[in-house]
Structure 1
Amino acid sequence: MKTFSLTSILRFSAMPVFFVAICAILLRADDALQPIDVSAFVDSAHHWRNVHGSSDNPLKPRPGHPSYKPEQVREIAANVLLFQCDNGGWPKNYDMCAILNDEEKAAVLSIKNRKTVTFDNETTHSQVAYLAKAYAQIKEPAYRDACVRGLDFMLSAQLPGGGFPQRWPDPEGYHAYITFNDRVMVGILTVLRDAGNGVNGFAWLDTARREKCRNAQERGTACILACQYRNAKGELVAWGQQHDPKTLLPAKGRGFELPSLCAQDTPEIIRYLAGFEQPAPEIIAAIRAGVAWLEQSKITGIRVEEFNSTPVKFRFHDTDIDRRVVNDPSAPPIWARMYEMETNRPMFCGRDQKKVYAFAEVDRDRRTGYDWYGYWPADELSGLYPAWLKKHGFSKK
């Protein structure tokens, strides 16, 4: 929408009053923009501002680096366009809301030709979703074009079995695995579902792309169902952080991320599956089994306590605290992040890549730089799942 300065409005002061009033409304047009949720950018922004150690990042935050507010849609959308790479994807661990000076913008432009980009830390699918909503409000063609390029990039990254890797194109190692960690699969498929249905900002999307998005989302959902682990008894249980695209079994990620069942990613997958208005029998079975596993895997009577300790600098983070598990009969149920696939025993690992069963045996780097315990399933078990049962008229059994 074209905007007018106050000076230009005053030039028309001799015109009829109603004309001046219309110009004043146009001047205030941006004030009427609805803020767009930026919470999906928080993970990458946190890594940019607080996690160090990346040698290929040409843009570093200034102390107290300022940010745009959610209502500054044009400014944030301009950043999203600036960071988009030539292949249509986005690099991770930058803050889409950061206020950048000319030198910093030039640093961003230096990575435009980066070939392999990522879906890690809620990257790429979050930018696509933001641009869709921005275009729905402002009708700026650049937003639409960048959003479509991002969608096309996401569609190109789908693996033959329907999953999505952490990086694309030409991923190597665990980056090529079907990735549930950091909402890769769930984030992408949620956006594809919205795009295919023309909702959450995608009402403008052309029919051909809607169909492609629907097909890709169906294949991705089938992949999720196929990845749900069956234990030695043949029972469906949960999902891992990443799965081998050939065997579909949980696979090793980083050195301290051993094959396991994950209580952080499983509830997010359940939330995605619960979003189907008419769930197929296999989706119903997957949700019930996943919820049963989460109920079985909760831990009572403990909590994780932080306490002050000697300041230390690790490769990726600095810390002046440490963590320990303490007994607390009044504590709410908590979950370990990782469980052994057959014993369902909570497990941990340090950078030495050795599995341990006690949190205290993890090196301080990983004790303070990784979330080994959390309350991730609480909302799904107390709110989402009961509401889902009621909505569809299902019994608890």
Structure 2
Amino acid sequence: MLVYQRAVGGWPKAVNEVKVKYDHPLTAAERAAARAVTSKPDATIDNDATTREIRYLAGAFATTRNPAYLAAAEKGVRYLLQMQYPNGGFPQYYPDLSSYRHQITYNDDAMIRALQVLRDVSRRANGLEVLDATLAEPAQQAVNRGIECILKTQYVQNGTLTAWCAQHDEKTLLPVKARAFELASLSGMETVNIVRFLMDTENPTPAIKKSIEAAVAWLEAVKLSGFAVKDQPDPKQPKGFDRVMVPEAGSVIWARFYDLKANRPIYVGRDSQPRPALADIEYERRTGYAYAGVWPAKLLSRDYPRWQQKWNSNAPQGRNN
């Protein structure tokens, strides 16, 4: 883990297109090769990279008291602080801002995981209390900026607050396209953990409460009742199965993407053309990407009601943290 850390402080998610796997013992040659490319600009917060290593190394230091582990974890936190935009957003990669990597990235919870690490640093909690105490204040400031960015990027549709796109332009803050099959849209997946992060705010401000309530209302409004997504055996298909959306009484799912104008579910293949049904896109994408799921279910049935009970209209107001 230490040899893969980049000079800038973060970690890559893959090396030479191969996913980094820490359960793979490195040969002397592999170790030397990794150390030779520490200046590569491929550090990222995508796919748990960097946030995973910070937490693991902090835990390893708590167990072993090895100062190298602590130093690496603290350097990782400083990387998160450095990569954050002044408006509070986080790019997917830093310092490589090519292609869509420069966009504010909620996709796969990248920005939210970074903010959760910084929140734990600021609170000196969840294993990160072993880190340098002087990191707590800048981490708190970064969390505050992150919350402001979240509030400003929540999409307003016909005058109504709704949800978030998986990625937003870092200047205009509007929803934008990333990969060919990830159009500017509203996300039934990423919105969930954004809301959970906001709900973990101590003494939420009226703006935070409004944001949470609007997003929950949107998730309730766009749910697809009476359907389920299943992988059904199909020997005619390359993988031996097909992924289909089928009627199922009592089931509720959400689309990954909804169009920005009318909240219609959209399913997009590599041709970037939005289509109304999962069956309308190519097999490779249909079975290789999560276009529908139950992501908001526990948020709506368990987490939000608990938050509502805790922070009712008479709850004290406070700062964003």
TM over 0.5: yes
2:108 to 182, 201, 210: 182
Task: Give the corresponding residue for 1:256.
Answer: 181
Contact 2:11 2:42 in 1 (8 A): no
Q: Does 1:358 align with 2:283?
A: no
Q: Does 1:320 align with 2:246?
A: no
* Mapped partners of 1:305, 1:384: distance in 2: 26
Task: Give the corresponding residue for 1:12.
Answer: none
| Corresponding residue SS for 1:333 | strand
* Mapped partners of 1:101, 1:82: distance in 2: 10
Deviation at 1:95, TM superposition (A): 4.7
| Corresponding residue SS for 2:77 | helix
| Corresponding residue SS for 1:329 | strand
Question: CA offsets, 1:344-375, max 9 Å, x none?
Answer: 00001111111111111101111011100000
Code of the aligned partner of 1:148: E
* Mapped partners of 2:302, 2:4: distance in 1: 37
Task: Give the corresponding residue for 2:92.
Answer: 166
Q: 1:172 to 1:95 in 2, by over 3 A?
A: closer
| Corresponding residue SS for 2:131 | coil
Q: Does 1:85 align with 2:6?
A: yes
Task: Give the corresponding residue for 1:239.
Answer: 164
For the aligned residue pairs, the C-alpha RMSD in angstroms reads 1.7
Code of the aligned partner of 2:287: T
Deviation at 1:137, TM superposition (A): 2.8
Deviation at 1:106, TM superposition (A): 4.6
Task: Give the corresponding residue for 1:144.
Answer: 70
* Mapped partners of 1:169, 1:116: distance in 2: 7
Code of the aligned partner of 1:393: N
Code of the aligned partner of 2:277: A
Question: CA offsets, 1:274-296, max 9 Å, x none?
Answer: 11121111111111011000010
Task: Give the corresponding residue for 2:318.
Answer: none
Task: Give the corresponding residue for 1:282.
Answer: 207
Code of the aligned partner of 1:160: P
* Mapped partners of 1:320, 1:84: distance in 2: 39
Q: Does 1:295 align with 2:220?
A: yes
1:98 to 23, 26, 29: 23
Code of the aligned partner of 1:366: R
* Mapped partners of 1:274, 1:181: distance in 2: 19
Task: Give the corresponding residue for 1:336.
Answer: 255
Contact 2:231 2:243 in 1 (8 A): yes
Question: CA offsets, 1:18-67, max 9 Å, x none?
Answer: xxxxxxxxxxxxxxxxxxxxxxxxxxxxxxxxxxxxxxxxxxxxxxxxxx
| Corresponding residue SS for 1:189 | helix
| Corresponding residue SS for 2:193 | helix
Task: Give the corresponding residue for 1:123.
Answer: 49
* Mapped partners of 1:303, 1:223: distance in 2: 34
Q: Does 1:224 align with 2:134?
A: no
Please say which of residues 342-351 and 90-99 is displaced more in the overlay.
90-99
- TM-score scaled by structure 1? 0.74
Deviation at 1:390, TM superposition (A): 1.4
Q: 1:282 to 1:381 in 2, by over 3 A?
A: same
* Mapped partners of 1:174, 1:347: distance in 2: 21
| Corresponding residue SS for 2:161 | coil
Deviation at 1:113, TM superposition (A): 2.9
Question: CA offsets, 1:195-231, max 9 Å, x none?
Answer: 1111112223334321111111111111011000011
Structure 1 segment 179-218 matched on structure 2, within 5 A: 179-218=105-144
Deviation at 1:303, TM superposition (A): 1.3
Deviation at 1:116, TM superposition (A): 2.7
Contact 1:126 1:187 in 2 (8 A): no
1:369 to 288, 298, 304: 288
| Corresponding residue SS for 1:334 | strand
**Paired residue total:** 308
Deviation at 1:127, TM superposition (A): 1.1
* Mapped partners of 1:391, 1:359: distance in 2: 39
Deviation at 1:343, TM superposition (A): 0.4
Contact 2:105 2:168 in 1 (8 A): yes
* Mapped partners of 1:165, 1:333: distance in 2: 33
* Mapped partners of 1:284, 1:326: distance in 2: 36
| Corresponding residue SS for 1:203 | helix
Task: Give the corresponding residue for 1:385.
Answer: 304
Deviation at 1:304, TM superposition (A): 1.6
